[in-house]
């Protein structure tokens, strides 16, 4: 589903060259749940932005569902992003002026769906996260855990091939975090691949595989993976 070969990222400014990511290979198969862990400043955000087609890489090749993304225009990339990737952020990123229905519908408006199809998708996604009866409510009327569920519904509504989650439980207390993790597990079991950045090893251990980034070096964490297995 996702195949990266010798991907590297260098940031160049007038005076400083930062090798944010050393060349790495990564292969994620359809249906996998992969956690990415690593200390602050190690390159996780850079990795996530590259994977989410939000940032270019300096070297290497990246195939998303057998499509080479290297030479796509910005417009083609945003289209691919909207169709294939569902984003989930630490701070939920819901629009406060819109009710839950409209929040979930928003990314679907950039697709070629009829109003009826959009409605079916929103209702279906809100049902999956257990909030369909709150669709006329506004984000500030919900708890943090519920807001994250809405953000997950928004990410799911377009039937992406994978979810990209950046510290999805980072703003939640531990019981809400566990609820979100079990929802993500259910979504994964139902067939959607997930790539999740977290610094929480306990949450990471619930994934199928753990990838570690340290000082820009990405490795499969074999010892943790054995423990998880």
If the CB atoms of residues 58 and 225 are measured against ligand ATP, the closer one turns out to be: 58
Indicate which single residue of 28, 35, 42, 158 sits in contact with ligand ATP (rule: CB under 6 A). 42
Q: At its nearest, how many Å lie between ligand ATP and the CB of residue 121?
A: 32
Subset of residues 48 to 107 that bind ligand ATP, contact rule: CB under 6 A: none
Q: Which residue is nearest to ligand ATP (CB)?
A: 45
Extract the tokens encoding 71. Answer: 């030479």
Say how far apart CA 74 and CA 89 lie, in whole Å.
Answer: 22
If the CB atoms of residues 126 and 196 are measured against ligand ATP, the closer one turns out to be: 196
Q: At its nearest, how many Å lie between ligand ATP and the CB of residue 212?
A: 11
Extract the tokens encoding 171. Answer: 């703003």
Say how far apart CA 111 and CA 196 lie, in whole Å.
Answer: 25
First to last CA, the chain: 22
> Binding-site residue total for ligand ATP (CB under 6 A)?
11
**40 scored as a contact of ligand ATP (CB under 6 A):** yes
DSSP result, 113-151: --HHHHHHHHHHHHHHTT-GGGTTS-GGGS-HHHHHHHH
Indicate which single residue of 20, 37, 142, 180 sits in contact with ligand ATP (rule: CB under 6 A). 20
Residues that bind ligand ATP (CB under 6 A): 11, 18, 20, 38, 40-46
């Amino acid at each position: 589903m996702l195949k990266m070969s010798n991907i590297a990222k260098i940031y160049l400014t007038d005076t400083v060259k930062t090798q944010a990511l050393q060349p790495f290979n990564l292969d994620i198969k359809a249906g996998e749940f992969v956690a990415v862990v690593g200390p602050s400043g190690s390159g996780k955000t850079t990795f996530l932005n590259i994977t989410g087609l939000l940032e270019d890489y300096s070297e290497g090749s990246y195939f998303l569902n057998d499509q080479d993304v290297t030479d796509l225009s910005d417009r083609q990339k945003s289209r691919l992003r909207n169709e294939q990737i569902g984003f989930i952020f630490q701070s939920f990123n819901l629009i406060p002026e819109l009710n839950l229905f409209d929040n979930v519908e928003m990314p679907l408006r950039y697709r070629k769906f009829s109003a009826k199809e959009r409605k079916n998708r929103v209702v279906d996604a809100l049902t999956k996260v257990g909030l369909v009866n709150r669709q006329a409510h506004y984000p500030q009327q919900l708890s943090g855990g519920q807001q994250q569920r809405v953000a997950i519904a928004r990410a799911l509504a377009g039937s992406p091939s994978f979810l990209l989650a950046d510290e999805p439980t980072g703003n939640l207390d531990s019981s809400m975090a566990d609820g979100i993790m079990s929802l993500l597990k259910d979504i994964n079991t139902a067939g959607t691949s997930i790539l999740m950045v977290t610094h929480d090893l306990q949450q990471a251990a619930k994934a199928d595989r753990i990838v570690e980034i340290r000082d820009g070096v990405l490795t499969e964490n074999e010892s943790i993976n054995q423990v998880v297995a």
